[in-house]
Structure formats: structure tokens, C-alpha cells
Structure 1
Amino acid sequence: MNSLDYGVLAAYAGLLLLIGARVGRGHQEEGEFTLGGRRMPTWAVLSSMTATELSAATFIGVPHAAYTGDWSYLQLAVGALLAKAVLARHVIPLYRRLEIVTVYGFLQERFGPRPQRAAAVSFLIGRLFASGARLFIAALALSVVTDIPIPWAVVGCGLVAGIYTIAGGIRAVIWTDTLQALLLLTSAVAVLFLLVEATPGGMSGLFDWATDRGQTQILHLTPIFSLTDGRALGTALLGGFFLTLATHSTDHDMVQRLLTTRSAKGGSRALMGSALLNFPLTLVFLMIGTGLAHFYATPPSYSIEDQARILPLFAFHELPPGLRGLLFAGLFAAAMSSLDSAICALATTWTHDILPPPPGTPDTLRRMKRSSAGVTLLLVAAALAMAQYHALLVEHGTPLNLVEFALSSMSILYGGLLGIFALGITTRQRGSPASVIAGLSLGALIGLALFLHPVVLGYTRVAWPWWIPISALASYALASTGRTTAVFQTQKPD
């Protein structure tokens, strides 16, 4: 990279910090930091959700999946669409009626403070490792062009996201993510345009070439379900459905934005809008991966053995100055849009659900910002841990592609969370504090065993799309053995 590329990156990082400082100016109330005053416009929330869902795992991992395979990743998007339709119709309106600050406030209303705290701790651990995986993927790509070691790239990304999030809270997250969504899309379309231009026959020529080689295959129908192949149609649909149910109903990182709109209808519209946008955006990144496969059908003069970094390698060697900086600014944006919301969500969860201050405690906002700083350091540590685990997978000959690595990391604790949330939503009296905590713990143990089994066994016995359904079902079953005498009310009393 030359000075122009570094200038683009530096200018973008500076702009993010400026937005955070500007939005955070004059913040005096905790409600502004955590919920944006519940007056954020729907279109901004939609843009923010889209940017976060287009994490570094998507920006780097989806092209890598298409480069080495096909377009079967789109099957997951269908499952995600179905899940978001269910959530927009039934779950988000429930959360808004209860006027909760974090999603774990629902568990307090339904089961009491002990399950609320246990679930919040579970989320904190799971989100640290899931966001850590995404931060590692971003650092992996940035290390290609800057020669910065991965640990230092992790630290740099984490600090920038931490600074502007601490300054501006959820409003800074939403407004910076809106900018980042635009940059992500612009840089991705620019790369796709160049790849199409380099293909004889343009887009039709690229599509014909890929079709002849089976690289545009979306549906894997034989077999419909497979315990070991995550690309089988039924398995992928199930995995996408349960993964999205978990992330968009039990993960405050995703749900927090939906609580900032002026009404429940605004949150539901933002959720469904992100579901519909997911298809064309995912298709763009899959086409980039296919375009890279065609481009590198003739081996270049430089090494492309590390296929996980195929898009950064292409950008580094083939893109002109300025555009190269734009692409890596887009990658930087992908990393920031995942980190900023995670920092805000984890800090809010810590101060509201895990260690809330006594009523009337002054300087709650200052305490929130201190929590954000601590969360930033924990995210950096989690990313380094995920980097080490990825190295172990490679060493044992069972590496996942990057997008599978990112998605599977979310399954460790989310199955247990989904099980107890589903019980709370679908029943009125089932579940006691003890049985709910037991169900959450069982789901976590099963999720951890499934996540680690490829390293322990040396091969994958259960494909990652099954991990959340299995652990969620076990969690639900055990949690439902308890019973409460009070009937849950789905609306906050006046």
C-alpha cells in the first residue's frame, strides 16, 4: 500500500472518532447512551443492523466460501428470513410492550432476577468469543497489507471501536454503522465491477464459466438432511433459522437497536428490511468469490496459497492506489460495525443485568463508560484466543472456512439461551428459576462440547448448523421441568 491508501484508511478512522465525539457531546442521561432516547429513525436502525450483519466474516469469509466452493451459503439466508419473520411478528412487539432496557429484562419479568443474571453472564461470554472471532478475521486481512502482526492489528481495531463507542453510546453505533454500511457496499460493488471487467464476456461470461464448474450451485438436495454436511438443504435451512432466532432474540448486540426505534412497528420493519437486504448483499459477496476464482484460474506471479486471505491478496496486488485504500477502509468498516455494537451491548448488559448499581446511585453513565472500556480489553483478549483456536483447527487438519468459523463460534452458548427464551415466550407458567438455570447450563455444556469436538476427534462428526438446535432443545426440555405459580403477563402493568 502507498501513502494514498494509508491516507484513506486514516481519514476514515478519524471520521469515525469525530462522529463518536460529536454524537456523544452533551450526553447526560443513561437512556441516551443505551437506547438513544428511543427515538432513532427506522432507516438508520436498518442500516446499522445491515452493517453489523455484514461483518468482517461476510466481507472476507463469504468470498472465500464461494472461491473454494459454491453459493450454498445462500441457503442460510433463507432460513434467516423465516426466523426474522417470526421474530418481527411475535417477539419484538413483546419486548417493546415490556419496556425492557436489555433483552435479559424479559427473563427477569418471566422467571426472576437469578435467571436474568445467569443469561446475561452467558451472553457476555458467548458474545466476547463470537465478536472475538470476527475481530480476528478482520485482523487477519489487515495484516496482509500492512505487515502488522495479527495481535497488533487486533489491538488497533479494538481501540478505535472502543473510543467512539465510549464517547457516543448506541447513537454513535447506529450513525457510524450507517456510514459504514454505505462504505461496505461501495467497496464491494467496486471490486465486483473490476472482476467482471477482467472477465471475457463480462457478467454473462463469468456466470457461464462458473456454472460449467458447478460454482453457482445453491441448493444441495442429496441428501436433504445430513448430520455431517452443513451444506445439505434441510440442514442449512435449519441452521440459518435457529442461528437467527438465537442472535436476534437472545443476543442484546442485535436486539439493542430494535429497542431504540420510536415504536415496536419501527423495530419490526427494520428487522424485516435487514432480512430482505441480506439476499442481494450476500449475492454480491458470493459473486466476488466466484470472480476471484476465475481471475486466479491462471496462477499469478505471487503466492495465493493462503486462500482464506484471497480477497485481501487480490486487493493488495491488483487494485490501483486509492481504490485499494477504499477496499481496506471497507474491511475496517466491517470490523468496526461488529465491534462497536458488541461493546455497547456488553457494557449495557453488565451495568443493567449482571452488576446493577443500587437505586439512586449517581454517575451511572460514567460507570457505563468505564464498563465499555473494560469490555474493549476483553474483546481484544477474546480475539487473540479465537486466533489460537483457529490455529489449532488448522494444525489438526479440520479447519472451517472463515464464515463457518465465525458462525460456529456463536453456537457455544446461544443454544442454551435460545432454549430458555423460547420457553419463556411459548409458555406462561413452565420453568422455575432453578430449572431455567439448569437448562441454560446444560445447553452451554452441549454447545461447548460440539464446538470443541472437531479438535478432540480430529474430524467433524456433527456439522455446525446442528449445534444450536441440539443444545436449544436440551435446554428447553430441562428448563420446562420446573413450574411457577404466577401467570406471566405479556404487557407491562400501568
Structure 2
Amino acid sequence: MLQLADLIVLTVYMGAVVAFGCWFVRRNQSSAAFMVAQGALPAWAVGLSIFGTFLSSNTFLGVPGRAYAGNYNAFVFSLSLPVAAYLATRFFVPFYRNTGSVSAYQHLEQRFGVWARMYAVVCYLLTQIARMGTIMVGVSLVLHALTGWDPKTIILVAGILITVYTLLGGMEAVIWTDVVQSIVLMVGAVALLVMLLWDMSGGPAQTIEMAAAENKFSLGSWQPDLTSKTVWVVFLFGVFINLGNFGIDQSFVQRYHTADSDAAAGRAVWLGAILYVPISLLFFFIGTAAYTYYQTHPELLEQVRSAAVATGELDASATIQHPKLADKILPHFIATKLPFGMAGLLIAAIAAAAMSSIDTSLNSSATILLEDIYKRWRGGAAGVGESESMWVLRVATVAVGIIGTVIAVQMVGVHSILDAWWQLQGVFAGGILGLFLLGMLSRSASGGVAAVAVAAGILVIGWISMPADSQWFPDQYRSALEPTLAIVAGTTTIFGVGLLLSAAKRQFS
């Protein structure tokens, strides 16, 4: 359980962040301020905010959990970021800065019709709600392990606090609190690693030696196999997901507009991407250090396993590398082995990771609901006044906060945080990227062609993502592809079918 000093550190931090976010209310009196902070922020602040958006409690818990239970296969995802960052600064940032629209999806209506815009909006909102759910579940796991508090109560309190300061402070509060929280997160991660290595009799050398002996540093199989998470599969998934982040994710597009110049927006993308690669590697090494630490302290490992078995979360026959056990190791270490007051800092870092992602989802979702739903169907931007816009933004922020919190409560007990997020993200984002690329790279694709292509892509995504235990679908017709390839297959299907149909249409017209 947390000591009094830890509770004080955590409470002071949470209160300070909420107060800091709320402080921006005096500068959040217009819809432009709420959505893009008047487009006057420096590149380094926007870059740290992008970095903070990539990080979350999924990173703080899910990444070390993957390294603990397996190897560094998931790190290949991080290695795809520079590729996506290059394409983003080369094509996406100039494209969106030149459109002048804060919405990432308005141009889809101009290109293909209103259905395309609404399809992208629905997929984006579902993605953000799923993101909020997985992130808040991650935070609840840690605080439950440390305090014994009910996970659902933790989720409710976190949802309320984050919604309040996002509601009051707008995008400027999101950006600047992300800056603070990114720094706290990095400090907390370094502190956690030092403490894990400090108590190893042989220090870092022992950790590396033990991990190398069990092949924990492996990136995975290099075989050209698309039925499992090989290096190629994870890299492909990473490239497509990150292209989706930089190219069609409303929260990133808004950040492009918050920068004070085109060059600043490009530098912000590179800063966020390049910073994430070594920091994600740090989190993988934390998972490795936790594995070797608990291997050398079997009595502590048995405490974690026995507690999980006693609560019914883990079967008595589960191995020490079971994903559910992996997600409980760091919370146990924080609760039982950190010095007086240090646990509060670590929990603050985990809270920072969660808050810097959830506030982004809230603000961008509210922006979408105003720009792409309310203004679109209310009669256009000209017919919606400033006070009305602010009212919609605030109501939308609260509504999305409530929905995301409810979804998080329903996700308590999920098998693996990181796997759940990857699966949901791939399903919801798969179709939007293909549609975006078709519109950007093919001038001849019409709205009708794009609609058929999207329908084909959705079918492919559904086929690949179908749960293995679905009883109604014949086994012989199931996809053999690794489910994370849903976004790759869906995107390429939409783009490929669109090009083929456009070519056929030209041929026979």
C-alpha cells in the first residue's frame, strides 16, 4: 500500500496539473483558442506534446509487460516512426497547413462526398473512445495494486479530473500540460529503471547477461511469415499505424495548426518521433530488468502470482511469463520495493502518461463534433456563432469524457492492454488511411469508386480481425494472417481497388 508521503506526492501532482490546465481558462475564450491555441505555440512544445500523445499508460505498463513476457518484438513498431515522420513532414504537414481547415476530414467531403467525411469521423471517434478506455484501464491497474482502491472508482475519478481541465483550458492547456507530463514521465521511467538495477547483486551486467541467455533482446523472427508477429509484420503494422497517426489523426492535425509556422510544425513532428524511439527502448529495458529482478527474487514473484490466483485473475497453472502476470509486476515492485516517497513519483509519472493522451482525445473529439458534425449539418460555419461554437465544444468534451470513462469501466480485466489497443486501433483506423491515400494520390477516383473500395476494405478488415472463437464462421475460410495486419490489408485493399476501378472506368468510358 502507498505510504502517506507517496499519497501526498501523488495528490499534490494531480492537483497541480489540474490547476495548471484550468489556469488557461482565461485564454480559452474562443473556438480558435480551444481547438488550435491561436496557432502561436513553439515547435519544441508542440513536439513534446506529440511525444506525450504517443506515450500513455499503455506504454508505461504495456511495453514493459511485453518485454517481461517475451522479447523486443514490439520495439520494431517504434523503429517505424522515422519512416512515418519523414512522409508526414514531406506530404501531410504541408497539405493540412495549406488547407486552412482545422478538421482533418473536411477535404474528404470535397473529394468524395459527405459519406466519406462522415465515415472518417465515425471511425476516428471510435478509435479515440477505445484509446481512452485502454489508457484508463492501465492507470486503474497500477493504482489498484498500490492502494487497493476499486479500479472502477479510479477510472471514474481520473475521467472527471481530466475532463475538467481539458474543458476549461482547451488546446493550450493540453499542449502545456503534455510538456510537463512528458518530462515527469521520462524522469519517472529513469528512476524506476535505476531502482530495478540497484537491487540486482550484479547490477546492470547481471540483468543483461540473464536476459541475453534467454534471448529477451530478440526482435523476433525475420522469416517472411505473415501469420505471426514477425519483424516484418510488426514493422508494416507500425508504418501504417503511424502514417495513420500523422496523416489522418485529428489530434495530430490540430497540432500542426497550433505551431507558429510551417517549419515549426515539421520540426515538432520530428522531435516527437525521434524522442519516442529511445524512450520506448527505455521502457522495454525496464520490462527486461523487471523480469531478471523477479527471477532473482522468486519469493516476490510468488507473491504476485499467488495474489493473482487468489483473486481469480490468473489460473494456478499459468507460467511466470503470462501477460496478466506481466502487467502486475511493475505495480508490485512500485508498491513494495521503492524507497519512502518514491512510489508517489512513479504513480505521478504513470498518471502523467495517461492524462497527456486522454486530454488529447477529448479535445480532438470535441473539435470533430463541432467542425464535422454540428457545423456541417447546422448549415455551415457561417451560420454558427462564436458563443454557440464554444457551447458545442464544451458539451462535446463532457460527453466524450463520459463515454470514454464508461467504456474504460467495461474494459476492466482485459487480457493484455497493449494487444487490446493495437487490435482496436487497427480495426477502426484501417479504412480511413486507405481512403485518404486514394484521394491524395489518385485524381481520377470518384466518390462512387471510393465507396466501393471502402466497402471492400471494411470486409477485409472484418475478415482478418474476426475473433478466433467465432462459432458462426467456417474454420476453413478464416484468415491466416496475423490480426494486426488488418490495417495494412484494409488500407492496401481500399487503395488498390480504388485504382483498379478508376482504371476500368476510364477504359470503358
The answer to whether TM tops 0.5 is yes
**1:304 alignment partner, SS class:** helix
Distance 2:464 2:356 in 1: 28
TM-score by length of 2: 0.87
Aligned position for 1:394: none
Equivalence map 1:80-99=2 (5 Å)? 80-99=81-100
Assess if the C-alpha contact under 8 Å between 1:92 and 1:267 holds in 2.
Answer: yes
- One of 269, 272, 291 as aligned partner of 1:271: 269
- One of 412, 427, 443 as aligned partner of 1:412: 427
Cα displacement (A) at 1:455: 4.1
- Structure 2 gap segments, 5+ residues each: 306-324, 504-509
Give CA deviations for 1:38-74 in whole Å, capped at 9, x if unaligned: 1111101111111121111110011111111112222
**Identity level (%):** 27
Aligned position for 2:10: 9
Pair 482,36 (structure 1): closer, same or farther in 2 beyond 3 Å: farther
Give CA deviations for 1:425-473 in whole Å, capped at 9, x if unaligned: 11223131x4434444443454344334234279994323311011112
Pair 101,482 (structure 1): closer, same or farther in 2 beyond 3 Å: farther
Aligned position for 1:239: 237
Distance 1:482 1:344 in 2: 38
Assess if the C-alpha contact under 8 Å between 2:48 and 2:271 holds in 1.
Answer: no
Pair 437,322 (structure 1): closer, same or farther in 2 beyond 3 Å: farther
Aligned position for 1:333: 352
Assess if the C-alpha contact under 8 Å between 1:454 and 1:461 holds in 2.
Answer: no
Aligned position for 2:170: 169
Name the stretch that deviates more: 188-197 or 109-118. Answer: 109-118
AA in 2 matched with 1:333: A
Assess if the C-alpha contact under 8 Å between 2:66 and 2:326 holds in 1.
Answer: no
TM-score by length of 1: 0.90
Aligned position for 2:218: 217
AA in 1 matched with 2:146: V
Assess if the C-alpha contact under 8 Å between 1:27 and 1:33 holds in 2.
Answer: yes
AA in 2 matched with 1:347: A
Quick check: 1:447 aligned with 2:447?
A: no
Count of residues in Structure 1 that have an aligned counterpart in Structure 2: 470
Aligned position for 1:380: 405
Pair 173,444 (structure 1): closer, same or farther in 2 beyond 3 Å: farther
CA RMSD of aligned residues (A): 2.2
Distance 1:103 1:54 in 2: 22
Equivalence map 1:450-489=2 (5 Å)? 450-456=464-470, 461-480=480-499
Cα displacement (A) at 1:478: 4.3
Pair 154,450 (structure 1): closer, same or farther in 2 beyond 3 Å: farther
**2:304 alignment partner, SS class:** coil
Name the stretch that deviates more: 253-262 or 3-12. Answer: 253-262
- Structure 1 gap segments, 5+ residues each: 391-398, 485-494
AA in 2 matched with 1:71: Y
Aligned position for 1:44: 45
Pair 193,247 (structure 1): closer, same or farther in 2 beyond 3 Å: same
Assess if the C-alpha contact under 8 Å between 1:29 and 1:365 holds in 2.
Answer: yes
**1:453 alignment partner, SS class:** coil
Pair 68,462 (structure 1): closer, same or farther in 2 beyond 3 Å: same
Name the stretch that deviates more: 24-33 or 449-458. Answer: 449-458
Cα displacement (A) at 1:143: 1.6
Assess if the C-alpha contact under 8 Å between 2:34 and 2:171 holds in 1.
Answer: yes
Equivalence map 1:150-299=2 (5 Å)? 150-221=151-222, 223=223, 225-230=224-229, 232-297=230-295, 298-299=297-298
Cα displacement (A) at 1:112: 3.5
**1:372 alignment partner, SS class:** helix
Pair 454,178 (structure 1): closer, same or farther in 2 beyond 3 Å: farther
Distance 2:158 2:90 in 1: 36
Assess if the C-alpha contact under 8 Å between 1:227 and 1:463 holds in 2.
Answer: yes
AA in 1 matched with 2:150: P
Give CA deviations for 1:394-425 in whole Å, capped at 9, x if unaligned: xxxxx5x4322222220112110011001111
**1:275 alignment partner, SS class:** helix
Cα displacement (A) at 1:87: 1.4
Quick check: 1:303 aligned with 2:303?
A: yes
- The structure that is helix-richer by fraction is 2
Aligned position for 1:77: 78
Cα displacement (A) at 1:271: 1.2
Name the stretch that deviates more: 410-419 or 474-483. Answer: 474-483
Distance 1:167 1:452 in 2: 41
Assess if the C-alpha contact under 8 Å between 1:93 and 1:265 holds in 2.
Answer: no
Cα displacement (A) at 1:202: 2.3
